[in-house]
Chains A and B, each alone.
Chain A
Amino acid sequence: MGECAWMARGCAAAALVLAGFATASGQSLTLGVGAPVTSLDPHYHQLSPNTAVAEMVFGALTQTDAKARIIPDLAESWRAIDETTWEFRLRRGVRFHNGSDFAADDVAFTLERVPSVPNSPSSYAIYTRPIREVQILDPYTIRFRTAAPYPLMPRDIAQVKMLDRQTHAQATTEQFNAGVMAIGTGPFRVSSHRNGERIEFERFDGYYGTQPHWQRATLRMITNDAARTAALLAGDVDIIDQVPTSDLAKLRTDQRLSVAEVTGLRIIFLSFDHSRVEATPFVTDNDGKPISPNPLKDQRVRRALSLAIDRAAITERIMEGSAIPSAQFLPESGFGYVQALNPAKADPEAARRLLAEAGFPQGFRITLHGPNDRYPNDSRIIQAVGQMWTRIGVRTTIEAQPWATFISRAARQDLSSFLIGWGTSGEGTNPLRNLVATFDRDKGYGASNRGRYSNPRVDALTDAAMREIDDPKREAIIREATIIAMDDTAIAPLHIQRNAWAMRRGLALDARVDELTRAQDVTPTGPAR
């Protein structure tokens, strides 16, 4: 009898405690992300997860909204005074987490700091290099003079998070990582950081913009796909990103969850070797002897290889609906999208005819390379492409390797054709300049043009677009360049990935096309839990 009473009292106490937890958790959010954050220093390493956290803690002059459009942030307005000068008017009354004021001098300090962060494996200096001179007109007006016309200034400056001269003058990356110096103007402040494991945030009540709903947020890094999904199902996290495609179908129908999907900005494509005029290493004739001149330099061969691919089948069966087929760099919402350029239906007959026209009626042999641990279903995609090519007479061997080995080989032009992806910024000059413009160290073109494609017309148009401040004119130039490059099959685009998040029912997400997961984009729907 005494035992029963004791048990009853114990249960009641436990229930009270749990109830207390339930109401407290109504104000806190736990996010489970698949890619680890390497640093809290917003100028140290350009990496998506770092950017996502930086957008929670810091602010920039402009920012991109969920559809990758530029909107004001720390700058209320901006305009191009002339071809090489941009003027930004700063928002007043903005404070850093420690109470310090934000003004033009902090912008100048930030631009000085960015290129000087030591040991950065990938710095943000690419966004500040075009700025030759900073002119402070008054505490809330600042002008940037650039060496050449720089139409991308408003977009690029969104990547440079603003720091405070008084607070961060001597700040080191280590101090940011320890949380001590992670002081910004953003909606959250960092309360603790366990490297590679979790970051705890608290809402900053002095934030000038829309207050996020959550008093506390925890970002947990769970890199294993299955474990991340299990954490969501177990209720340990409220929302996960990078939902594995194999789980999507199940999660979409689960009553306890809701899934948010949006077409993203990452194009998956095949690259061809344009660098060799003579034989290319992984293309041989049917007897195994190298073929000279390089068949991949013939536009008909490339076009045939692209025509043979059934993009619809790949996106439906392999990607399970989490991608859309594409024939160009950008999705429909992109700046520079060409309406008329749609992915062609697979046409093996036409492909064979083109190959015969190019002098390969019996086809040839090729090895298609790709990563096996980088993009969703990457090794399965190249296996499918290999089968489609073999069907038109191009006997394909597949080689899928870990990213570390693969990318080094691709960068050295060791490969003939390979699968790779590219995350655009949503602005058409980005893929043109990086993927199909001729490799030019001084201009900074073609840094990711690993196939070394080179077309003077595309180069001329890319140059013109990079200098055109007027938006509609620039868009027209981008479209023209895209049509030429795609007609020439510089690369063979396959599909654009859709970004998927899964969350417990009762939450809604402002899903972003740039894949970033930020606590301020999550809001509760219905009664607060």
Chain B
Amino acid sequence: MLVMSVLVFVGVYAIGDPVEILISPEADQIERERAIRALGLDLPLWQQYLVFLKNALHGDLGRSFVFNEPALKLILDRMPATLELAFGATFVALLVGLPLGLYAGLRPNGALARGIMAGSILGFSLPTFWVGLMLIMVFAVQLGWLPSTGRGDTVDVLGTRWSFLTWDGLRHLAMPAFNLALFKISLVIRLTRAGVREAMLMDYVKFARAKGLHPSRIVLVHVLKNIMIPVITVVGLEFGGTIAFSVVTESIFAWPGMGKLIIDSINVLDRPVIVAYLMLIVLMFIVINLLVDLTYTALDPRVRLEGRT
């Protein structure tokens, strides 16, 4: 996390000057100097970094240049929106991808299975940007079934606002979540199918069939558990990536999440927000990796966490 903060400081400094971007064109030189001092940008870079570190140790990751609110608060305010999107997309991906992948794996030579695989190619090759706009054009403009952009009505739970608990919120969530899920669905389908095809040839499946177990129990209990490891790994990584970088979907759908905040902050060089955000993301990826590792042990008894025998 320390390395990340240094990288961001140096990177933003190299790109340009936040004051030049934020200042009104009407401002005269005296005003510019005042703004530079107000934002702490008159100090040499290493001194600015030390000020940042000192405050960070107290839990203060700086105030946004643009909004004048604590950077961390800005990000955490937007986190529920992005989490909804990420969870929604993952949920849809698993809900749609697992059954389709299972089917394609169990009857690999059927017409439907081939169709599913061809569809999955589309899923990961079509650009998110284009798919998002197409979804808006078809479902919002032409058919009018779903709202085109934005987040729906929210309900206050434990101090944060969640929109998936309202019908209006779900309607707004549908298209962006699906847009994000498309890529994941394809991944899950292909992984599941590969896993199923491999697992069906394994000895334990033959043994289970010989024992007389019902086919659905064989598939849903034994095979599924064994193929989940690669699926969980990928879903976990993707989940982290979605939370951190769902910029395109959030921009198109005007979804007020963290992805949109980060790209807007990068465009105006709002350094405190960029630093805080990227440090948070590093932390998040570490946590997700840990959770994925823990899930391995739950799924596959052969895997042990390092250090144990």
Contacts and interface: CB of A to CB of B under 8 A. Distances in A.
B242 interface: no
Interface stretch (A37-45, A241-249, A325-333): A37-45
Given A119-B39, A222-B149, A408-B16, A403 B267 contact: yes
Interface string A438-458: 010100110110000000000
A226 B252 contact: yes
Contacts of A425: 26
Given A221-B254, A405-B16, A444-B28, A235 B144 contact: yes
Contacts of A231: 140, 148-149, 254
A45 B22 contact: yes
Nearest to A197: B256
Contacts of A39: 67-68
Interface size range of chain B in the complex: 35 or more
A220 B34 CA distance: 32
Contact of A404 (B34, B136, B260, B268): B268
A338 to B, nearest CB: 22
A227 B133 contact: yes
A230 B38 contact: no
Contacts of B148: 227, 230-231, 234, 236
Nearest to A441: B29
A230 B269 CA distance: 29
A120 B16 CA distance: 19
Nearest to B26: A126
A136 interface: no
A196 B39 contact: no
Interface in B279-306: none
Contact of A227 (B21, B31, B136): B136
Contacts of A448: 25
B169 interface: no
B39 A121 contact: yes
A174 B26 CA distance: 25
Interface string A108-143: 000000000011111101100100000000000000
A353 to B, nearest CB: 36
A434 B25 contact: yes
A423 interface: yes
A98 interface: no
B35 A122 contact: yes
A46 B150 contact: no
Nearest to B38: A119
A177 interface: yes
A127 B25 CA distance: 13
B254 A227 contact: yes
Contacts, number: 160
Interface in A183-220: 194-198, 220
Contact of A224 (B15, B23, B63, B251): B251
B101 to A, nearest CB: 32
A422 interface: yes
Nearest to B28: A444
Given A220-B254, A402-B267, A230 B137 contact: yes
Contacts of B268: 404
Interface residues of A, number: 59
A47 interface: yes
B236 interface: no
A126 B67 contact: no
A346 interface: no
B66 interface: yes
A318 interface: no
Contacts of B147: 234, 236
B30 A407 contact: no
Interface string A359-382: 000000000000001000000000
Given A119-B38, A121-B35, A125-B31, A227 B25 contact: no
A45 B260 CA distance: 20
B151 A122 contact: no
Contacts of B256: 194-197
A423 B20 contact: no
B42 interface: no
B141 interface: yes
A227 B129 CA distance: 11
Interface in A399-417: 402-409, 411
Interface in B168-203: none
Contacts of A444: 28-30
Nearest to A196: B256
A46 B19 CA distance: 12
4 closest A-B pairs (Cβ-Cβ)?
A408-B16, A444-B28, A46-B24, A121-B22
Interface of A: 36, 38-39, 44-47, 118-123, 125-126, 129, 173-174, 177, 194-198, 220-224, 226-228, 230-231, 233-236, 373, 402-409, 411, 422-423, 425, 430, 434, 439, 441, 444-445, 447-448
Given A45-B66, A196-B261, 17 more contacts: A44-B68, A121-B38, A126-B27, A197-B151, A223-B251, A224-B254, A227-B253, A231-B149, A234-B136, A236-B140, A236-B148, A236-B150, A373-B267, A402-B267, A404-B267, A407-B20, A441-B29
Interface of B: 15-32, 34-35, 38-39, 63, 65-69, 74, 77-78, 133, 136-137, 140-141, 144, 147-151, 251-254, 256, 260-261, 264, 266-269
24 contacts: A44-B68, A121-B18, A121-B38, A121-B65, A122-B27, A122-B31, A195-B77, A223-B260, A224-B252, A226-B133, A230-B149, A231-B149, A231-B254, A234-B147, A236-B148, A404-B266, A405-B16, A406-B16, A408-B16, A422-B25, A434-B26, A444-B30, A447-B27, A447-B28
